[in-house]
Amino acid sequence: MNISGLLAQLFAIVMALFLAPLLTGWVGQCRAWLQSRTAPPLLQPYYMLHKLFHKDVVLAHGASSLFRVAPFVVFGCMVLACAIVPTLSTDLPFAPAADTIALVGVFGLARVFISLAAMDIGTSFGSLGGRREMLVGFLAEPALLMVIFTTAMISQSTSVATIVETLAHREFAIYPSLAFAGIAFTFVSLAENARVPVDNPATHLELTMIHEAMILEYSGRHLALIEWASSLKLYAYSCLGLALFFPWGIAAGDSFPAMLAAIPLLLLKLTIGGFLLAVIETVNAKMRIFRAPEFLGTAFLLAVLGLLVRLLMETRV
Amino acid sequence: MPALLPIDILLIAVCAWLAVGLAGLVAPRNTRFIAKTLFPVGALIGVLVGFVALSSLGAAPETAVLVIGLPDLPFHLRLDNLTAIFAMLLGFVSVGISIFAAGYFREGEGTAPGLLCLEYHVFLASMLMVLLADDAYAFMVAWESMALASFFLVTTNHQHDEIRRAGYLYLLIAHVGAINILLSFGVMTANSGDYTFSGMRGQHLSSFWASAAYLLALAGFGAKAGLVPVHVWLPEAHPAAPSPVSALMSGVMLKTAIYGLLRVSFDLLGSPIWWWGVVALAVGLVTALFGVLYSTVQSDMKRLLAYSSIENIGLIAVGIGLTLIFHSYRMEALAALAMTAVFYHCLAHAGFKSLLFLCTGSVLHATKERSLGKLGGLIHRMPWVAWLALAGVIAGAGLPPLSGFISEWLLLQAFLFSPGLPHPWLNMIVPVAAALVVLVAALAGFAMVKFFGIVFLGQMREESLKDAHDAGWWERIGLIWLALITLCLGIFPSSVILRIDAATRQLLGIGLAERMADHGWWMLAPISAERASYQPLVFLAVIAASVLLGRQLVHRFYHGRVRRSPAWDCGYFFQGPRAQDTAEGFSHPIRRIFEPMFRMQRHFPTARDTQPYYSVKVEDHFWHWLYLPVARLVGGISGLITLLQGGRIAIYLLYSFITLILLLLVARP
């Protein structure tokens, strides 16, 4: 670990911090266009964060210390996730700190904290959101892990950097297993990021919300951190998906020129990805919560199918 | 005078524990003396046991022969690396529990404190003897003392009917298990009359008899560990027992059963057959899934934890199964990986589950309430217990950076290699089993969030909870000790694995140490850094740094103002604590999704009910599928036998006469 490596790592983290709200803004804009609404400005999430940070925190009487710590922990988890997922380069000092399984663990830790914080005030919405979030969590995690297993078996490694390097440097061929895994990963990402059809980030209708129900009691800087963390999560998931399934263009070293060269391609991929996400959200309707098991069960079966295809047909590749 | 060997020190510790227990009988009603003197001394002995076992890891096996027992059958004892790991677990975990117990046991609760002290320390001593035993006779004597001591501990509050029933069930299943273990040992001696373990190692059993011995051992030790379908005693016995006893049983005693299973399948029986592993894997998966599903739907906090123990034992069994499969195909390096996961999960579970059970003890003392539906909001009154319980909850949910995650990570890494198995369908099925392991881990997160959220967070569901008080200092120290174990196991995995590697190498001939030696102590990379690595310290540092830095920056650039106001009530201001989710409500999604797994009795209110109520009762299918039919059968048979006993002397004389006639007819010289 050297100074330039650390600087590169810091650069990647700072870039994630600033790009993530932009991605959220872009998705919101695309959604508005597709739904024939007047689009909010691209920088709307920044304005919102700025406003929220200025506002007072209004704490409910029953709030405990856990409620006040949780936004920071969730934010920290997402920063770590963004530090691990290779965005510009695969050779960063924090890459060996956690492999893909540990990455799932980071998201799990954030989920547990936000669910606990939701239960802290003791309103009916909070615990309702908390249990739904945990429900989506335990349905999505096995599917996500099967996706990871498939990629890990191709590259003989669970380290994100090694997976990306292996997948980026193979000859161009379509792996059926990766196709299955990619669809499953998309399903899981939609569920994990509280997107339509599992959840709707824009809703405040009592019976349908999951994520919004949990953070109903948050305000001011706490809410800002949670919103920022959600953006970071979307960014981390998008970058993970891009790194696993479209890994071309990520630098292999930690030199700044190589990383700078990787930025335009990343921006392009995120722009397209964000647009596709908006399309998915527009053409689908939100499901009832008890349809979520079917949705994520499908994702799980697709991922298992991908794994079996890998084991049965591609073992010689 | 020859120097004291570690095994001698451990024997002294056994005697010391027995002496401490007996000292409790001197003044059986003097709670102060017993709690504040004897239990701390017991804890000190625990420290000694832990450190002696730790230092003897990696040393050559030591043996000793005690001249007690039957005339020509003395006690053989042996301290090897496998024993040392579990003795270390026993020592270190019991320290925290004993310190906690010093503050926990009070007057006027069932059994006299002196007697309780005796039972408790006999329990500790017999568990250590189980680990040290090197012949079937000594093993069974220690095993039965352990079962009896724990039975008396479970029935501490024996004036309650359901506690006596729970104790009876526990004793019954413990003995069904013991018979199986005894038979297993019998098969392994192969009629040689040599009951020492070294004699059993020397036997070359045919594959049929070896399999019989393995299956008997799996059934016997499984009954103690709580594998499905002989798990039913756990959710009954744990709520019945005082919390330190539950902690000791769940944290340590279940691990002695795992020790026994490892001893038999890897040490005493030579080379395993591949399907042994498949059996253990399948039973483990069923157990884990069953345990975790039932733990999510419980409404009693100790039952929830008891089912969670079943789940963890299931995961350990999955690890053992995977190890056996790899071992049977001579893929020793991978077997070593899976076995390390088994040992690690034993250590991790012993730490966090004892911690959680002790926390329920503090809650129970503070509130007199065990039902989740009547708790809530305790983080305000019991911040120490709540924050320490949070450590246990995060570890129990298998989340980084605490201990539970490491073992699950190792287990999944081992699963990733299973496509390399040289078997036509195992290499397809086993990787998919990993998905079930992840499902179990994620459901465990659900159960843990439920446990913590309902007990410690939210509003207080009962008025009486306002008088709850935090745990005393003895209890806090005990909890802190166990939380530290959980944290250290989570943060320093490499150092721990290098220690326990000695046992892996003893059982499999190969360990992970060679490949891990190149990396620093902060990095866990059991195979190679390219393959997989995990640095918990960086993990913790980045999260902690973002928390602190984020807080500083926000306060520096914006402000740190806080205003208090009532929670938002949707304009309906009659919302009280009753509007929160109940324990039953929280687990509703699980009951709905996994409906066939549960036997449910529900009552819904109708629109015309004057006193509407809702209730749901979840029962174990196995009671109705297995236990009640067997009980009915036994009852029926004994009913038939009572027909013979009419109570009239003439009838009995008639029996003797008929028997005599038959003998004269049949047994002619």
Please write the tens of the pLDDT for every residue from A101-112: 999 999 999 999
Contacts of B585 (CB under 8 A, 6+ apart): A127, A131
The beta-carbon neighbor of A138 closest among B380, B427, B445 is B445
**Distance from C-alpha of A96 to C-alpha of A84, rounded to nearest angstrom:** 8
pLDDT band at A317 (very low <50, low <70, confident <90, very high): very low
Q: Determine, for residues A119 and B454 on separate chains, whether the beta-carbon distance falls below 8 Å.
A: yes
Question: What six digits make up the tokens of B117?
Answer: 């002290």
- Which chain A residue has the Cα nearest residue B529? A96
CB-closest option in B446, B523, B563 to A56: B563
Measured in degrees and rounded to the nearest 5, phi and psi for residue B534 equal -150, 125
Q: Which residues of A touch B568 (CB under 8 A)?
A: 60, 123, 216-217
pLDDT value at position B139? 94
Strand B73-79, strand A57-60: pairing? unpaired
The stretches of B190-300 forming alpha helices (DSSP H) are 197-202, 207-225, 233-240, 243-248, 254-262, 274-296
pLDDT band with cut points at 50, 70 and 90 for residue B542: confident
Residues in B touching A6 (Cβ below 8 Å): none
Distance CA B524, CA A252 (A): 23
Contact B589 A308 (CB under 8 A): no
Query: Is the confidence at residue B522, as pLDDT, over 70?
Result: yes
- State the Cα–Cα distance between residues B606 and B200, nearest whole angstrom: 66
Tens of pLDDT, residues B23-45 = 988 888 888 888 888 999 999 99
How far apart CA B85 and CA B503 sit, in angstroms, is 7
Q: Which of B411, B383, B394 is nearest to B355 (CA)?
A: B394
Residues of B in contact with A97 (CB under 8 A): 533-535, 538-539, 542
B452: closest CA of chain A, how far (Å): 8
CA dihedral sign, ordered B212, B213, B214, B218: positive
Q: Which residues numbered 315-334 in B keep a CB inside 8 Å of some CB on A?
A: none
Cβ-based contacts of A106 with chain B (< 8 Å): 400, 539
Cβ distance of B543 and A76 shorter than 8 Å = yes
pLDDT at A172 over 70: no
Residue of A nearest to B405 (CA): A105
Smallest Cα distance from A78 to chain B, Å = 9
3-class DSSP state of B70: strand
Percentage of residues in chain A having pLDDT higher than 90 = 48
CB atoms within 10 A of CB B495: 13
CA angle B172, B178, B179 (to 5 degrees): 95
| pLDDT given for residue B156 in this prediction | 87
Q: How far apart are CA A230 and CA A219, in angstroms?
A: 15
| Residue B229 preceded by cis peptide, ω within 30 | yes
Chain B CB contacts of A300 under 8 Å are 435
Is B15 in CB contact (< 8 Å) with chain A? no
Nearest-angstrom CA–CA distance, B120 and B141? 17
CA atoms within 13 A on the CB side of A185: 27
SS3 B526: coil
pLDDT exceeds 60 at position B302: yes
Q: In angstroms, rounded to a whole number, what is the distance separating the alpha carbons of residues A197 and A141?
A: 17
Which region among B64-73, B96-105, B123-132, B598-607 has the lowest average model confidence (pLDDT)?
Answer: B64-73
CA separation for the pair B306, B246 (Å, rounded)? 9
pLDDT surpasses 70 at B451: yes
Interface of B with A in 568-587 (CB under 8 A): 568-570, 575, 577, 579-581, 585-587
Note the pLDDT of residue B108.
Answer: 60
pLDDT of B524 reads 82
Q: What integer is the mean pLDDT of A72-96?
A: 87
The average pLDDT across A267-279 equals: 93
Number of domains chain A is built from: 1
Distance from CA of A221 to the nearest CA of B (A): 8
Backbone angles phi, psi at A190, to 5 degrees: -60, -45
Examine the pLDDT at B515 and tell me if it is beyond 70: yes
B533 to chain A, any CB pair closer than 8 A? The answer is yes
Q: Which residues of A touch B597 (CB under 8 A)?
A: none
pLDDT at B79 over 70: yes
- In this structure, chain B runs to a length of 669
Tens of pLDDT, residues A200-244: 877 777 667 788 888 888 998 999 999 999 999 999 999 999 988
Residue A283: per-residue pLDDT:
92
Residues of A in contact with B557 (CB under 8 A): 53
Taking CA–CA distances from A309, the nearest residue in chain B reads B428
Q: Does B442 touch chain A (CB under 8 A)?
A: yes
Give the distance from residue A33's alpha carbon to the nearest chain B alpha carbon, in angstroms. 32
* Integer Cα distance of A173 and B430 in angstroms: 28
CB-based contact, B458 to chain A, within 8 Å: yes
Per-residue model confidence (pLDDT) at position B262: 95
Q: What is the overall mean pLDDT for chain B?
A: 89
Pairing of strands B562-565, A57-60: parallel
What pLDDT score was predicted for residue A199?
A: 86
**Least confident segment among A245-259, B43-57, B145-159:** A245-259
pLDDT band at B461 (very low <50, low <70, confident <90, very high): confident
Match 């016995």 to its residue by tokens: B237
Cα B642–Cα B647–Cα B653 angle in degrees, nearest 5: 105
Cα(B98)–Cα(B43) distance, integer angstroms: 5
pLDDT at B554 over 50: yes
Chain B residues within 8 A of A53 when measuring between CB atoms: 554, 557-558
CA distance B5 to chain A (A): 41
How many contacts does A have with B, using Cβ atoms within 8 A?
261
What is the domain extent for residue A271? 3-313
Q: How far is CA A317 from CA A165, A310, B547, in A?
A: 16, 9, 45
For the residues B124-129, what does the mean pLDDT come to? 95
Cα–Cα distance, B256 to B143 (Å, whole number)? 9
- The residue of chain B nearest to residue A71, with distances taken between CA atoms, is B547
Tell me whether residues A54 and B558 touch, CB distance under 8 A.
Answer: yes
CA angle B322, B353, B582 (to 5 degrees): 110
What percent of chain B lies above the pLDDT cut of 70? 99
Which residue out of A51, A72, A134, A198 would a mutagenesis test of the B interface target, given it has the greatest number of B Cβ atoms within 10 Å? A134
**Measured between CA atoms, how close is B454 to chain A, in angstroms?**
8
B567–chain A Cβ distance below 8 A for any pair: yes
Q: What is the pLDDT of residues A41-75, one digit of tens each?
A: 999 999 999 999 999 999 988 899 999 999 999 99
Q: Say if residues B84 and B503 touch (Cβ distance below 8 Å).
A: yes
CA B483 to chain centre: 17
Query: Above 50 in pLDDT, residue B202?
Result: yes
From the list B393, B417, B227, the residue with the least C-alpha distance to B322 is B417
The two structure tokens encoding residue B155? 């029935």
> Which of A166-170, B144-148, B452-456, B640-644 is least confident?
A166-170
Token duo for residue A144 = 């996500």
Residue B395 tokens read as: 């570890």
Cβ A144 vs Cβ B449: under 8 Å: no
Give pLDDT, residue B203.
84
Nearest to A137 among B434, B442, B544 (CB): B442
Query: How large is the ipTM?
Result: 0.94
Please write down the HEC assignment for all residues of B145-166: HHHHHHHHHHHHHCCCHHHHHH
- Cis peptide leading into B629, omega within 30 of 0? no
Cross-chain residue pair B458–A56, CB shorter than 8 Å: no
Rounded Cα gap, residues B362 and B96, in angstroms: 14
Distance from CA of A275 to the nearest CA of B (A): 30
Torsion of CA B45, B50, B51, B55, to 10 degrees: 140
CB B199 within 8 A of CB B188: no
Mark yes or no for CB contact B532/A99 under 8 Å: yes
The helix/strand/coil state of A106 is helix
Query: Which residue from A minimizes the CA distance to B426?
Result: A311
Cα–Cα separations (whole angstroms), residue A179 to A86, A167, A184, A189, B419: 21, 13, 9, 15, 20
Higher local confidence (pLDDT), A246 or B354: B354
- At residue B158, the pLDDT reads 84
State the average pLDDT over residues B601-625: 85
Task: With H, G, I as helix, E, B as strand and everything else as coil, classify residue B421.
Answer: coil
Residues B567, A217: C-beta atoms closer than 8 Å: yes
Q: Which residues of B touch A101 (CB under 8 A)?
A: 409, 412-413, 532
Per the CB < 8 Å rule, is B550 touching A138? no
For residue A20, is pLDDT > 60? yes
Place of tokens 């399903």: A187
User: What global pTM score does this model have?
Assistant: 0.94
**A78-116 burial: b if 16+ Cβ within 10 Å, else e:** bbbbbbbbbbbbbbbbbbbbbbbbbbbbbbbbbbbbbbb
Tell me which residues of chain B, numbers 402 to 431, contact chain A at a CB-CB cutoff of 8 Å.
Answer: 405, 409, 412-413, 416, 419, 427-428, 431
Question: Which residue from A53, A69, A123 is facing B554, i.e. has the nearest CB?
Answer: A53
Closest chain A residue by Cα to residue B415 = A149
